[in-house]
């Protein structure tokens, strides 16, 4: 029998709830139709936000939301999206289908959405086609409490109090759609732009209210980008030497470096189908999702050289599965169905993030609604929850809990029939909540084999266990006609033992145990 050994006396890093963050871009039907339908829509809404979508996402748990992109961020000019909607300036969304963006969902609407969700805010600024002045003005518009021109414009547009910007991204994918920059150039530009992303609420300034600035990090395994940018953005400048702690108000070292990585079973010309796939494509997907572990380790090792205290988090603010767009839809809208395969890819990734909570401070799956690995899908006034939605909800026990040392014994690697793709058969992580309970999450990616597992604590003796399971055929999914094909159910195939418990997981399943 395989064994999960838990050393509950070895407490590690806190698992930041922001690891379970979301991402919403002006892309396809994510914002319009998916989240925002307007105040005059027949679809039930509150201030334009779909009530069904917001209530579902609140139930799932959204700790932080990233907006407005993505690649869209570096074409977005925020002034076009404030003021009376009838007077807002339309733009062409040249990146995602060439559609006309009416800018009815802008800064005020984003913060309204976050207030309804009860989540933190992550705003991505425009470095690619924007100016330092434009970025500075936006931050002032959102956060300033004084009688400055931008704060007064915010008041004129209907918002007296400033908003809280928890995270601010200085550019997005600057190696690609954000500007096609070399890492040396971006590091230099980051220092300049970062200097003007100011914390305006001087009277209430603390480390908790300071905007956490996120630098544009690497694509996949571009370790040179990480090395060059980390060296550039952490180098102490003369101004910082001269002003000492005062430099904190002038930008200073960022709080995070963004990594982007998608698990694609094929390549960018043929990514594969979301539902019609064979064993090789299945194992290609989960093994590529599992590559996240190596990426975190190698990028993290480079970051450790420049930031040994790990104050700069690795921010995986774009990740998830990516397939060909569903047939019959606009290929640039990136709409795809969502199956058990996606829930397995997500949860094995969650477990990897948890195990590296000392370095991974936030992650934002792409994307929240109707795009790529979405939490919910909508069609007119209908909405369905995807298997990935249920996966996120299962892992809520890890939010802000303390990671506990754990390790699997006796597991093996499995592969497809041609032995082209290898992956561990089980992924796990363990945390302890403030009330003393333990959350144990397990992902069995084996396509055919169930897994018998002994969960052994070092000294702790469980008295009660509550458990849920998500399982099914790997292509199982929910549709608008059958919205409950995939959902979580109570898990009972376990027994409490003197050392912990024994359980048997079905093939292709996710199990969450709350142990007290």
In a structure prediction context, what are the per-residue pLDDT tens digits for the chain, which is 516 residues long? 899 999 999 999 999 999 999 999 999 999 999 999 999 999 999 999 999 999 999 999 999 999 999 999 999 999 999 999 999 999 999 889 888 999 999 999 999 999 999 999 999 999 999 999 999 999 999 999 999 999 999 999 999 999 999 999 999 999 999 999 999 999 999 999 999 998 887 656 666 678 999 999 999 999 999 999 999 999 865 444 333 444 444 557 899 999 999 999 988 788 999 999 999 999 999 999 999 999 999 999 999 999 999 999 999 999 999 999 999 999 999 999 999 999 999 999 999 999 999 999 999 999 999 999 999 999 999 999 999 999 999 999 999 999 999 999 999 998 877 778 889 999 999 999 999 999 999 999 999 999 999 999 999 999 999 999 999 999 999 999 999 999 999 999 999 998 899 999 999 999 999 999
Both tokens of 452, joined, read: 């018998």
The residues that bridge with 406 in the sheet, in sequence order, are 6
Active site residue 173: yes
Give the integer Cα–Cα distance in Å for 97 and 478: 27
123 burial type by CB count under 10 A (0-12 exposed, 13-18 middle, 19+ buried): buried
- 166 CB-side CA count, 13 A: 16
Tokens 């998500």 locate to 470
Helix (H) or strand (E) holding 471: strand 465-471
How confident is the model at residue 242, as a pLDDT?
Answer: 36
Q: Is the peptide bond before 367 cis (omega within 30 degrees of 0)?
A: yes
SS3 383: strand
Contacts of 55 (CB under 8 A, 6+ apart): none
Q: Annotate 145-157 with DSSP letters as a single string.
A: -SS-HHHHHHHHT
Say what angle helices 183-194 and 132-143 make with each other, to 10 degrees: 40
Q: What are phi and psi of 59, to 5 degrees?
A: -65, -40
HSE toward the beta carbon, residue 101, CA cutoff 13 A: 27
At 355 the pLDDT is 98
Give the count of alpha carbons within 13 A of 131, CB side only.
4
Structure confidence at residue 387 (pLDDT): 98
Catalytic residue among 75, 101, 112, 173: 173
Where do the domains of the chain lie, and which CATH numbers do they carry? Answer: 2-403 (3.20.20.80)
Q: What span, in angstroms and rounded, lies between the C-alpha atoms of 260 and 274?
A: 21
DSSP-derived letter for residue 475 is T
Contacts of 343 (CB under 8 A, 6+ apart): 387, 388, 390, 391, 470, 486, 510
In the prediction, which pLDDT does 97 show?
A: 85
List, edge to edge, every strand of the sheet that includes 451-457: 489-490, 465-471, 509-515, 438-444, 426-432, 402-409, 2-14, 451-457, 500-505, 494-496
Tokens encoding 62: 């959204």
Is residue 109 within a helix (H) or strand (E), and if so which, with residue range? Answer: helix 107-117
Q: How far apart are CA 52 and CA 36, in angstroms?
A: 11
498 tagged catalytic: no
Please give the C-alpha separations between residue 177 and each of 71, 392, 417, in angstroms, as whole numbers: 6, 29, 38
Choose the catalytic residue: 109, 318, 425, 428. 318
Distance set, CA 232 to CA 188, 244, 456, 504 (Å): 7, 19, 46, 50
Does the bond joining 68 to the residue before it have cis omega, within 30 degrees of 0? yes
Rounded Cα distance, 509 and 470, in Å: 6
Alpha-carbon distances, residue 195 vs 83, 295, 312 (angstroms): 28, 29, 17
Q: How far apart are CA 377 and CA 451, in angstroms?
A: 32
Dist. CA 340–CA 141, nearest whole Å = 43
Find tokens 């936030």 and name the residue: 362
User: Residue for token digits 């700069």?
Assistant: 312
For every residue of 186-222, DSSP letters joined together read HHHHHHHHHTTS----GGG--TTTSPEEEEEEEETT-
Q: For residues 328 and 335, what is the distance between their CA atoms, to the nearest angstrom?
A: 10
CB 353 within 8 A of CB 399: no
């Amino acid at each position: 029998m395989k064994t999960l050994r838990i050393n509950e006396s070895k407490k590690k890093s806190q698992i930041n709830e922001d690891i379970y963050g979301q991402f919403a871009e002006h892309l396809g039907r994510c914002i319009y139709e998916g989240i925002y339908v307007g105040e005059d829509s027949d679809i039930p809404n509150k201030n334009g936000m779909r009530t069904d979508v917001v209530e579902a996402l609140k139930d799932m748990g959204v700790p932080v939301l990233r907006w407005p992109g993505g690649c869209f961020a570096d074409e977005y000019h925020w002034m076009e999206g404030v003021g009376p909607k009838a007077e807002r300036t339309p733009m062409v969304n040249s990146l995602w289908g060439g559609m006309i963006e009416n800018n009815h969902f802008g800064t005020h609407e984003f913060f309204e959405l976050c207030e309804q969700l009860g989540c933190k805010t992550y705003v991505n600024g425009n470095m690619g086609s924007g100016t330092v002045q434009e970025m500075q003005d936006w931050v002032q518009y959102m956060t300033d409490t004084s009688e400055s021109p931008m704060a007064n414009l915010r008041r004129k547009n209907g918002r007296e109090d400033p908003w809280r910007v928890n995270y601010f991204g200085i550019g997005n994918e600057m190696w690609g759609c954000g500007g096609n920059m070399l890492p040396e150039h971006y590091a230099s530009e980051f220092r300049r732009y970062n200097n003007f992303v100011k914390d305006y609420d001087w009277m209430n300034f603390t480390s908790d209210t300071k905007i956490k600035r996120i630098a544009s990090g690497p694509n996949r395994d571009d370790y040179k980008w990480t090395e060059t940018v980390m060296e550039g953005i952490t180098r102490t400048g003369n101004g910082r030497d001269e002003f000492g702690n005062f430099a904190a108000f002038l930008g200073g070292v960022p709080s995070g470096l963004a990594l982007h990585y998608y698990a694609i079973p094929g390549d960018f010309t043929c990514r594969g189908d979301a539902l019609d796939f064979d064993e090789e494509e299945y194992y290609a997907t989960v093994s590529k999702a599992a590559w996240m572990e190596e990426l975190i380790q190698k990028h993290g090792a480079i970051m450790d050289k420049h930031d040994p205290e790990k104050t700069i988090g690795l921010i995986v603010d774009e990740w998830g599965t990516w397939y060909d767009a569903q047939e019959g839809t606009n290929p640039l809208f990136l709409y795809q169905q969502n199956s058990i395969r996606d829930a397995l890819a997500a949860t094995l990734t969650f477990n990897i993030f948890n195990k590296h909570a000392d370095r991974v401070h936030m992650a934002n799956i792409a994307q929240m609604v109707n795009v790529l690995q979405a939490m919910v899908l909508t069609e007119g006034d209908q909405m369905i929850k995807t298997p990935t939605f249920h996966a996120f909800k299962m892992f809520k026990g890890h939010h802000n809990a303390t990671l506990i040392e754990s390790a699997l014994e006796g597991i093996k690697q499995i592969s497809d029939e041609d032995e082209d793709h290898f992956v561990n058969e089980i992924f796990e992580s363990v945390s302890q909540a403030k009330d003393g309970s333990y959350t144990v999450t397990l992902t069995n990616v084996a396509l055919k084999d169930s897994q018998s597992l002994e969960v052994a604590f070092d000294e702790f003796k469980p008295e009660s266990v509550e458990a849920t399971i998500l399982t099914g055929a790997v292509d199982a999914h929910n549709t608008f006609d059958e919205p409950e094909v995939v959902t979580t159910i109570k898990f009972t195939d376990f027994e409490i033992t003197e050392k912990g418990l024994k359980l048997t997981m079905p093939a292709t399943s996710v199990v969450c145990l709350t142990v007290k």
